[in-house]
């Protein structure tokens, strides 16, 4: 008997896809000197800052503890600053983030072009399905 999970299991196929995506994204975002997740935190802050750890976690879909840990690393690189306001940790960009963000935005553009080239017209539909299905599973 051969198992069918290679093609039909949402967990297995999504995890296999993510391992491939993570490898390609890590190569693409290498010029930032950090893993892609760090660049996405910075890009989310570029879109709206300051933000709390909770806001970033909600926006990016990470646990608050993971965001907090990654923000601490970015803070150690003098790219952002975190302050405590009541029970919240508020995060804001520092002037040194400008260079990092320029590189991160270039990597994001490269990533977009690479995935458009490799996935073609399936990219938009697949991304929408992943977004919708993620929302369904999180409820």
Q: Report H helices in the chain.
A: 5-8, 10-28, 36-47, 53-60, 64-76, 97-119, 122-138
The confidence band for 93, taking pLDDT boundaries of 50, 70 and 90, is: very high
Whether the model clears a pTM of 0.85, i.e. scores above it, the answer is yes
Decide if 107 is inside a domain: yes
In whole angstroms, give the CA distance from residue 129 to residue 127: 5
What secondary structure letter does DSSP report for 52? E
* pLDDT tens column, 95-138: 999 999 999 999 999 999 999 999 999 999 999 999 899 889 88
Model confidence at 69, pLDDT cuts 50, 70, 90, reads very high
Separation between Cα atoms, residue 127 and residue 112, nearest integer Å: 12
Domain span at residue 79 reads 33-117
| 123 lies in some domain | no
- Total domain count for the chain? 1
43 belongs to a structural domain: yes
In this structure, are residues 42 and 105 in contact, taking their beta carbons and an 8 Å threshold?
Answer: no
Domain presence at residue 40: yes
Does residue 68 form part of some domain? yes
Residue 7 lies in a domain: no
Residue 64 token pair: 């608050």
Output the six-digit token pair for 20: 């491939």
Q: Does some domain include residue 54?
A: yes
Residue in the block written with tokens 């929302």: 135
Domain containing residue 66: CATH number: 1.10.10.10
| C-beta separation of 13 from 7 below 8 A | yes
Residue 124 lies in a domain: no
């Amino acid at each position: 008997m051969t198992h069918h999970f290679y093609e039909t299991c949402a967990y297995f196929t999504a995890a296999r896809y993510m391992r491939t995506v993570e490898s390609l994204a890590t190569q693409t975002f290498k010029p930032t000197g950090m893993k892609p997740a760090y660049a996405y935190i910075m890009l989310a802050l570029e879109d709206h800052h300051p933000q709390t750890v909770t806001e970033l976690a909600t926006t990016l879909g990470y646990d608050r503890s993971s965001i907090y840990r990654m923000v601490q690393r970015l803070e150690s690189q003098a790219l952002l600053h975190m302050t405590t306001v009541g029970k919240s940790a508020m995060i804001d960009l520092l002037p040194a983030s400008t260079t990092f963000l320029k590189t991160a935005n270039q990597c994001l553009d490269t990533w977009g072009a690479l995935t458009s080239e490799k996935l073609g017209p399936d990219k938009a539909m697949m991304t929408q399905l992943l977004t919708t299905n993620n929302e369904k599973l999180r409820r």
